[in-house]
Structure 1
Amino acid sequence: MEAFFNAVLTDIVSRSVSFFMDKYYMFTTPSVEGNSVNDLQQLLLRIRVIVEEAEGRLITNQAMVHQLNILRKEMYRGYFTIDCLRCQCTATTNNHDVSYSFALSKFNPAKRLFLPGDGDACGKKDIQQVLDNLNKIMIHMSEFVTFLSNCPPLCRQPYHMHLFIDKCMFGRQMEMDRIMGFLMQRDHPSTNHVDVLPIVGPTCVGKSTLVAHVCNDARVRSYFSQIVVLDGDDIGDENIATLKERAVFMHQSHKTMSKDQRLLVIIEFRTDVDEVAWNSLYLSFSRCLIRGSKIIITGRSNKIRKLGTTHALALNFLPPDAFWYFFKVLVFGNVDSGDHPKLESIAMEMAGGLNGSFILANMGSCFLRNSMVTRFWSMCLAAHKGNYKKEYIFVW
Structure 2
Amino acid sequence: MIRILLRMHSVVEEAEGRHITNQGMLLQLKGLIEGFYVGYHMLDKVTFQPPEEESIKDEVSHEMHSSALTTSNSAKRFRFSDALRKHTPISFASRSTANLKGVVEDLETKIADMREFVMLLGSYPRLPRQPYSTYLFMDKCMFGRRVEKEQVINFLLCSDPPDTYVSILPIIGPHRIGKKTLVQHACQDDRVKSCFSHIFFFKEDDLKMGELSLNSKASPGKYLFVIEFICDVDEAAWTKFQSYLQNMPSTEIKVVLIGRTEDVTKFGTSQPIRMKRLSEEEYWYYFKALSFGSMNPDEHPKLASLGMQLATEMNGSFLGANILGELLRANPNTQSWQSILLSLRGFVQKNLCCFGVHPEDLLERNTPVDFTRMAFLGAQAHGCLVYDLRVAGPAQSQLPKLTSREVLLGGNIPVEDKFDVLVWKSRIPPYCDYIATFEKQKPRRVVGKRNTIYH
**TM norm structure 1:** 0.74
The CA distance in 1 between the partners of 2:119 and 2:279, in whole Å, is: 30
Map 1:71-82 to 2 at 5 A.
71-82=32-43
Maintained 8 Å contact 1:56/1:157: no
Measured against aligned partners, the alpha-carbon deviations of 1:23-51 in whole angstroms (never above 9, x if no partner) come to xxxxxxxxxxxxxxxxx122111211111
| Mapped partners of 2:206, 2:261: distance in 1 | 17
State how far apart, in whole Å, the 2-side matches of 1:55 and 1:383 are.
38
Instruction: Kindly indicate whether residue 203 of structure 2 is the aligned counterpart of residue 189 of structure 1.
Output: no
Q: Match of 1:219, as an amino acid?
A: R
On the 8 A contact 1:196/1:310 being kept in 2, the answer is yes
Distance 1:166 1:57, change over 3 A: farther
- State yes or no: 1:66 paired with 2:27: yes
| Mapped pair 1:241 → 2:218 | no
Going from structure 1 to structure 2, the CA distance change for 1:279 and 1:391 (only over 3 Å counts) comes to closer
Correspondence for 1:169: 142
What runs of 5+ residues in structure 2 fail to find an aligned partner? 57-91, 348-372, 380-407, 411-455
Query: Does the C-alpha gap of structure 1 residues 388 and 355 become closer, same or farther in structure 2, counting only changes over 3 Å?
Result: closer
Q: Quickly say closer, same or farther: Cα 1:289–1:361, change in 2 above 3 A.
A: farther
Map residues 41-60 of structure 1 onto 2, 5 A cutoff.
41-60=2-21
Q: TM-score, normalised by structure 2?
A: 0.65
Q: Is the 8 A contact 1:233 1:271 kept in 2?
A: no
Rate the CA distance shift 1:298–1:159 in 2: closer, same or farther, 3 A.
closer
Given the alignment, which residue of 365, 378, 386 partners 1:392?
378
Whole-angstrom CA distance in 2 between matches of 1:80 and 1:391: 28
Q: Per residue, is there more helix in 1 or in 2?
A: 1
Find the aligned partners of 2:210 and 2:50 in 1 and give their Cα distance: 63
Distance 1:61 1:391 in 2: 50
- Does the 8 A contact of 2:287 with 2:311 survive in 1? yes
Determine helix, strand or coil for the equivalent of 2:161: coil
CA distance in 2, matches of 1:244, 1:132: 60
Shift of 1:209: 1.0
Instruction: Work out the CA distance in 1 between the residues paired with 2:170 and 2:17.
Output: 27
Aligned AA (1:395): L
The separation in 2 between residues aligned to 1:234 and 1:120, in whole angstroms, is 54
Distance in 1 of aligned mates of 2:245 and 2:50: 60
CA shift for structure 1 position 273 = 0.7
Give the structure 1 partner of residue 288 of structure 2: 328
Give distance in 2, aligned partners of 1:169 and 1:232: 25
Instruction: For residue 366 of structure 1, report the CA deviation from its aligned partner.
Output: 1.4
Residue in 2 aligned with 1:357? 317
Structure (1 or 2) with the larger CA radius of gyration: 1
What is the Cα deviation at residue 58 of structure 1?
Answer: 1.5
Measured after TM superposition, the shift of residue 93 of structure 1 is: 9.6
Is 1:215–2:200 an aligned residue pair? Answer: no
1:146 and 2:115 aligned: no
* Deviation at residue 382 of structure 1 after TM alignment: 3.5
Distance in 2, Cα, partners of 1:389 & 1:76: 31
Alpha-carbon offset, residue 243 of structure 1: 7.3
1:311 corresponding residue in structure 2: 271
**RMSD over equivalenced CA pairs, Å:** 2.7
* Partner residue in 2 for 1:270: 230
Q: Distance in 2 between matches of 1:289 and 1:172?
A: 34
Q: In 2, Cα distance between the equivalents of 1:391 and 1:89?
A: 21
Specify the SS of the correspondent of 1:158. Answer: coil
* Aligned equivalents of 1:42, 1:381: Cα separation in 2: 32
Residues 253-290 of structure 1 show CA distances to partners (whole Å, capped at 9, x for unaligned) of xxxx9832222111111111111221121111122151
The residue number in structure 2 matching 1:114 is none
Corresponding pairs, count: 321
Do 1:323 and 1:356's aligned partners in 2 also have CA atoms closer than 8 Å?
Answer: yes
CA distance in 2, matches of 1:162, 1:259: 43
1:21-36 equivalences in 2 (<5 Å): none
